[in-house]
A and B are shown apart, each in its own frame.
Chain A
Amino acid sequence: MSIVFDSAEVLRALSGGVLIGLAAVLLLVGSGRIAGISGHFSALLQGQGGISLWFLAGLFASPWLVRLFTPLTLGEALTDARWLPLLGAGLLVGMGTQLGSGCTSGHGVCGLANLSLRSLVAVLVFMSVAILVVALGGGLSA
C-alpha cells in the first residue's frame, strides 16, 4: 500500500465538512430535523413534502449555485461505468440505507454528532464493507 496526501485536497475536504456540519446544525435548529439525505429522499418517495422537499430542493439547486462561483468537475469516473452494475449499486444503496435507517449523512454526520452508538455501529459496518469491496477489486468500470 501507499499513501497519497495532498494538503490542498485535505483543506477542501475539511472546509466542505465544516459546511456540511453547519447545514446539519441549521436543519436541526431551524427546522427540527436530522440532515439524513436517504431519510428525506425516502420521505419524498412516500409523498411527504414539507421540510424534506425544501431540504432536497436546496441540495438539488446546489450545483447551479456553486457553478456561479467556480467551475465544477463532477462524476467523470461514472462516465465509463457499465450500466447494469451501476443500477445494481444504486439498488443496493437504496435498499441498504432504507433498511439501516440512514446513510453517510444521517448516521455518519448527524448520528456521530449525537454520540449515538447505533450510528457508530452503522458507520463502522458500511465503511468496513465498502473498504472490503474496493480491496477485492469491485467496481463499475469495464
Chain B
Amino acid sequence: MSLFALLAGLLFGAGLLLSGMTDPARVRAFLDITGAWNPSLAFVMGGAVLTALPVFLHTRRFATTPAARTLRDLAAKPVDRALLLGAALFGVGWGLSGLCPGPALVVAASGNLQALLFVAALALGSVLSRRLLAPRIR
C-alpha cells in the first residue's frame, strides 16, 4: 500500500515536470487566452483524465472495494457554496502565481526559495481556511 503511494507520488511528480506544469510562466501563458495564448497545457489535463477515466469508471461501477465507495460518495456530493467560493479563491491565487499545489510542492522540493515561501503560505491558508472559514460557510 505505502509502496504504491510512493511510486504514485514519484510518477505524478515526474508527469508534472515533463508536462510543463512546473513552469509558472507557461501556466500563465496557458491562462492568457486574450493575449499570446499557449494552449499546450490543456493536453496535460486532457491526457491525465483520458488515461484515468476507464479505470475510475470501471472501479466506480463494478468494484466493491473502499476505493469504489470513495468514488461513488465523491460523485454524489452536492455543489455547495464552499465549493464555489473555494474554487474562486483558488483561481485568483493560481492566476496570480501560475502555481497550483502539486507543481508548487515539486518546485519547492527542488530547492527553489520562492516556491518554499509559497508552500508555507499555502499551508497557512489551508489551516486558516479549515479553522476559520469552513465552519462559517457550510
Count of residues in B whose CB is under 8 Å from the partner chain: 112
The answer to whether B115 touches A42, judged by C-beta atoms less than 8 angstroms apart, is no
A106 to B102 Cα, complex, angstroms: 10
B24 to chain A: closest CB distance in Å? 4
Chain A residues with Cβ below 8 Å from B1 are: 30-32, 51
Q: How large is the interface on A (under 10, 10 to 19, 20 to 34, 35 or more residues)?
A: 35 or more
Q: Contact check: which of A65, A92, A133 meets B125 at CB < 8 Å?
A: A92
B92 to chain A: closest CB distance in Å? 5
Given contacts A58-B7, A73-B23, A139-B96, 18 further A-B contacts (CB under 8 A): A4-B29, A16-B21, A19-B14, A23-B15, A29-B59, A38-B101, A46-B130, A50-B2, A66-B13, A90-B99, A90-B117, A91-B124, A98-B86, A98-B130, A118-B74, A122-B83, A129-B95, A134-B95
Which residue numbers of B lie inside 8 Å of A, CB to CB? 1-25, 28-29, 31-53, 55-57, 59-60, 65-67, 70-71, 74-75, 77-79, 82-102, 104-107, 109-110, 112, 114-115, 117-130, 133-134, 137
Which residue numbers of A lie inside 8 Å of B, CB to CB? 1-6, 9-10, 12-35, 37-38, 41-42, 45-46, 50-52, 54-66, 72-79, 81, 83, 85-101, 103-105, 107-119, 121-123, 125-135, 138-140
